[in-house]
Amino acid sequence: MQTTSKLLMIRPARFAYNEETAKNNFFQRDYGDYADDGINGEDGGNEGKGGDVGNWANGGYGGNDGDGSNRGAGIDKARQETVAEKALVEFDAFVELLRRNDVDVTVVQDTLEPWTPDSLFPNNWFSSHLSGELVLYPMFAENRRQERKPHVLELLRGKMNHRKVVDLTSWEEEGQFLEGTGSMVFDRRRRKAYCCRSPRSSERVLADFCARMRYDAVAFDAFDVEGRPLYHTNIMMEVGTQVAVVCLDSIKEANQRERVAAELTAAGKVIVELSIGQLTQFAGNMLEVKSRNGHPFMVMSAAARDSLTSSQERTISTYNKILSTDLHTIETYGGGSARCMLAEIFH
């Protein structure tokens, strides 16, 4: 079974820009780096550019604007609070959209302690499998490792009936990472794990996962418009039941590009090719889900949908009803979109 009607979503206690993940997620924007978002201080300025978000996590607010002063403290504080509030509005609207279309969504409220700014992206630290396994993954950012909270694990192992835990987190001690269905895009029917190598996606951990879970790896290298490695595979591809959406142009090595295309063709997928420019609008970060009655949907952000050509949208819509929602704040400051927020549950 490629898709599921059961999803887990984590409602953030306090969403924020995460400095630790920004080291290699070039889709993120710092508070001061991105002014055209409708989130400004009282004077509409950006004096707080470069403020230390980490202070906010400890109950304070960073206001160092680069010259040692604190002129931007009030603006930073207002922006951070507004970003967190807007993210909640976007999150709740997303849940409502899915439930209105009869998708079975379990929402778990995050806790303030320990503070985890990226908690609304749970698909990175675990994956669920029809055979009953719950796989736990090694995370690049130290503060993201704290997302593996007891109340979520208890739900996954108890009510959601995952009988076996496959724990890969010890790889963190060796500085090797594999961030779940961010790092890997599964063709569950053919047991293929597509993975673009990056600082967050180690081929050694990928091999470990594949050996334990009986998958075959399809590893490659993919890059953004400026030639930087894409931090996650699910930024540039999605494999659905009948449709595969992929940015083949981001794979520079011809042999790798041809292999990915050949694997998707062998699987009988209708391929929708994205441009590298469309990746900046999170067009690759979509997910196929279904309703309780089996009706298929392709879920994406409003920005992703707006970036599609009429031909691309028509092809996807032939096989899946498109569900889209505004995730502008989450995309801007979190560097992730619709797919990142959805943890599939198979049991």
- Type of residue at 30: D
Q: Are 157 and 127 in contact (CB under 8 A)?
A: no
Single pTM value for the model: 0.88
Q: Which two tokens stand for residue 326?
A: 């505004």
> pLDDT for 207-232, tens place per residue?
999 999 999 999 999 999 889 999 99
Q: Are 260 and 246 in contact (CB under 8 A)?
A: yes
Q: Check residues 269 and 76 and name the one with the higher pLDDT.
A: 269
Q: Check residues 319 and 31 and name the one with the higher pLDDT.
A: 319
**8-state DSSP, 44:** -
Q: What is the pLDDT of residue 77?
A: 81
pLDDT at 239 over 60: yes
How many Cα atoms occupy the beta-carbon half-sphere of 257 within 13 Å?
A: 11
Q: Are 285 and 235 in contact (CB under 8 A)?
A: yes
Residues with Cβ within 8 Å of residue 142, at least 6 apart in sequence: 20
Specify the CATH number of the domain 6-21+83-344.
Answer: 3.75.10.10
pLDDT at 53 over 50: no
Q: Which of 35-39, 73-77, 158-162, 326-330 has the highest mean pLDDT?
A: 326-330
pLDDT at 155 over 90: yes
> pLDDT for 89-100, tens place per residue?
999 999 999 999
Q: Check residues 335 and 58 and name the one with the higher pLDDT.
A: 335
- Candidates 341, 336, 346; CA nearest to 108 is 341
Q: Name the band, by pLDDT with cuts 50, 70 and 90, for residue 66.
A: very low
Q: What is the pLDDT of residue 38?
A: 54
Distance CA 199, CA 98 (A): 32
Residues with Cβ within 8 Å of residue 247, at least 6 apart in sequence: 222, 236, 237, 273, 274, 275, 276, 278, 279, 284
* 52, burial (CB in 10 Å: exposed 0-12, middle 13-18, buried 19+): middle
> pLDDT for 286-305, tens place per residue?
999 999 999 999 999 999 99
Q: Name the band, by pLDDT with cuts 50, 70 and 90, for residue 50.
A: very low
